[in-house]
Chain A
């Protein structure tokens, strides 16, 4: 159950030159970016892991009250190497290895936030947060309200969320809906490196408890980061979705790794003349209903895509909000959800592959909704 990753595939930062055919990102670039053949990248390629690492490094440097605690975050460099080099740079006081006691150390982290520090509390995976969920909800999320504003809780809980590869039922759950359900929490779910960097900085600077849902399978995926994004004060605002791809026929709303699948599906569908608009939620709570509604009012069709289970999930919330708002009158067909299959995650590869939403499921649903 505890595990680590064996290192990044790409050099952190730096520029490298890769012929397009070897550049296997698993998705096709969004339409508004430069296509590449053989070229030297002027924007550095930064994978999600390094984006998170750099964001934490910069925020640790910027504000002495920020510190990181969790299992294996210090001397091991992080179970997934997200905190690589930080202990060497900042030492025992700022980067703290904890015993395997989630309930205890989450409580300690919240207490430190009460007293004015700005902790980053890492769960090795969000599955283990269930051991500590009382501290996240009852001690962190609700305290500012219960104290009528006297006691803020400036804490970030972060770690990998959702399914991975072959880690079976107890290690594969998505917690976006669970935490997204609770007032008092902000819940963010980055997809790419820009999201990861900007949202983590925003989360650390936010005076409220933020649940930061990463994705293990995205850690090693590299993305271009522009000069603007690499500025130390670059933040992605919490609560604002991003339109990753403009389209006119149908809106795909997603978060985390599934955003990439939506972009892949959109490329395939474009060949058949269907132009999808892909909305990257970036934040689960507060949900950017305005961006979703504006898109649906333009396209008239909606498919939500998520890795988590369908019942009472993120997609269910989006559909309900669309029903209750002005966008409903613009729908030409019922809004539909693509989700993980409603079962505990099986181990065998063939079963696991069929338990998560695939690109073909997205394409199939789009065509059904568009009556093609």
Chain B
């Protein structure tokens, strides 16, 4: 079966390792579900917010753990491959922000829609992509999720509209998707993500206006990781209360390092949208461990101490792990096995991504137009005649 991280993990199935572990503990020993206190959310133009507690089942916990760990290891592998020059061009890594992608997905369904900017590998995964296809896209091979033609910033899956390179442009696009949802009456919504750097873009304010006027089912989410490339929020934004920037749009400011906080806030926001109240805005306070991209060491505008502090005190994966272990929802061995399985999945994917062949030259001119007759494309010289197919 495909190693899909969306699948529910049962410890005594699938892996040989699991069945070989002489576990002295059976299912009955683990707590099936627990309720956790979560940080209060700051509210803007809202009387009430998401609940102050979240209930996590063992299954959910293991699923979130595995998915976040997969994103983490996938991004670290991408770092390696980039340094080996096997991945080229742009590569914007998501490690540190895993709770956002996983928590959001926990609050919506795959029939809802999502669009984000260029720090998109994690979302490609949570939205149904496989590690294999994502890595092969990064290495520009024919098995890539966009057949090697898009690269890091241009990956798509069903109901996931990328991966977008131009800062802020994805936000009105998301509102357009939401408009279609309302138009088609399908009770779906669109999550439209952007960063703290993008939050000042004019087109985002234009989108706030139209979404509110027309009561579109859109959740605006600002992933505030404190820095827009090398510029801290204080240096870019007259107001750093991004959850209030929608003005007339109700807003929430959420701890983006806690997957349960993110999930509960997303559920709350989704209910708001689906009840026809129109847009809502969430600010997720999060952090990226890597620099802006692989070309940015990430330490000229922030200190190593700061990065280390976030890692040691607020790491999303550690937080979930500690919660589960201290509430007896999983064992250390079990989580270690998941780690091993994830490592293997990443290794296999990397192996595929480095050995799969590049796209065929026939693909050069394909996919210019949809549903069209094949037509001639001018190559580099007038004598180079190429063909485009849909």
What residues make up the interface of A, taking CB atoms closer than 8 Å to B? 1-6, 71-72, 75-76, 79, 97, 99-101, 103-104, 127-128, 130-131, 164-171, 310-311, 336-344, 346-351, 354-358, 361, 364-365, 368
Whether A343 touches B140, Cβ cut-off 8 Å, given contacts A103-B202, A104-B202, A165-B89, is: no
CB neighbours (8 Å) of B164 from chain A are 170
Q: Are B382 and A336 in contact, with the CB atoms below 8 A?
A: yes
The winner among A1, A3, A104, A337 for most chain B CB atoms within 10 A is: A1
A-B residue pairs in contact (CB < 8 Å), sample of 12: A3-B295, A5-B295, A75-B301, A76-B231, A127-B165, A128-B167, A165-B89, A310-B378, A343-B377, A347-B154, A355-B364, A364-B381
CB neighbours (8 Å) of A311 from chain B are 378
B64 at the interface (CB under 8 A from A): no
B96 at the interface (CB under 8 A from A): no
Of A131, A344, A350, A356, the contact of B361 (CB 8 Å cutoff)? A350
Distance in Å: Cβ of B51 to nearest Cβ of chain A: 35
Distance in Å: Cβ of B348 to nearest Cβ of chain A: 21
Of A3, A101, A127, the contact of B90 (CB 8 Å cutoff)? A3
Q: For the complex, give the distance between the alpha carbons of A1 and B201 in Å.
A: 15
Whether A338 touches B381, Cβ cut-off 8 Å, given contacts A76-B301, A100-B197, A168-B154, is: yes
Distance in Å: Cβ of B302 to nearest Cβ of chain A: 12
Distance in Å: Cβ of B18 to nearest Cβ of chain A: 38
Q: What is the size, in residues, of chain B's interface with A at 8 Å between Cβ atoms?
A: 57
What residues make up the interface of B, taking CB atoms closer than 8 Å to A? 88-90, 117-118, 137, 140-141, 144, 146, 148-154, 164-168, 197-198, 200-202, 228-231, 235-237, 292-293, 295-296, 300-301, 358-359, 361, 363-365, 368, 377-384, 386, 388
Q: For the complex, give the distance between the alpha carbons of A99 and B237 in Å.
A: 7
Q: For the complex, give the distance between the alpha carbons of A103 and B382 in Å.
A: 37
Whether A1 touches B140, Cβ cut-off 8 Å, given contacts A127-B166, A170-B166, is: no
CB neighbours (8 Å) of B150 from chain A are 168-169, 347
Apart from A100-B198, A340-B380, 9 more pairs, CB < 8 Å: A4-B230, A72-B230, A75-B231, A97-B235, A168-B165, A339-B380, A341-B364, A357-B380, A368-B381
Q: For the complex, give the distance between the alpha carbons of A219 and B302 in Å.
A: 27
Q: For the complex, give the distance between the alpha carbons of A311 and B235 in Å.
A: 42
Majority DSSP secondary structure for residues of B touching A: loop
For B144, the closest partner residue in chain A by CB is A348
For A360, the closest partner residue in chain B by CB is B380
CB neighbours (8 Å) of B146 from chain A are 347
Distance in Å: Cβ of B325 to nearest Cβ of chain A: 39
For A167, the closest partner residue in chain B by CB is B89
For A305, the closest partner residue in chain B by CB is B380
Q: For the complex, give the distance between the alpha carbons of A128 and B166 in Å.
A: 7
For A124, the closest partner residue in chain B by CB is B229
CB neighbours (8 Å) of A342 from chain B are 377-379
Distance in Å: Cβ of A254 to nearest Cβ of chain B: 13
Q: Are B202 and A368 in contact, with the CB atoms below 8 A?
A: no
Q: For the complex, give the distance between the alpha carbons of A3 and B300 in Å.
A: 14
Whether A4 touches B166, Cβ cut-off 8 Å, given contacts A165-B88, A341-B364, A347-B151, is: no
CB neighbours (8 Å) of A341 from chain B are 364-365, 377-380, 384, 386
Q: Are A1 and B90 in contact, with the CB atoms below 8 A?
A: yes
Whether A350 touches B301, Cβ cut-off 8 Å, given contacts A99-B231, A165-B89, A170-B153, is: no
CB neighbours (8 Å) of A127 from chain B are 165-166
Whether A3 touches B293, Cβ cut-off 8 Å, given contacts A350-B359, A351-B149, A351-B364, is: yes
The winner among B141, B151, B292 for most chain A CB atoms within 10 A is: B151
Whether A101 touches B202, Cβ cut-off 8 Å, given contacts A2-B167, A171-B165, is: yes
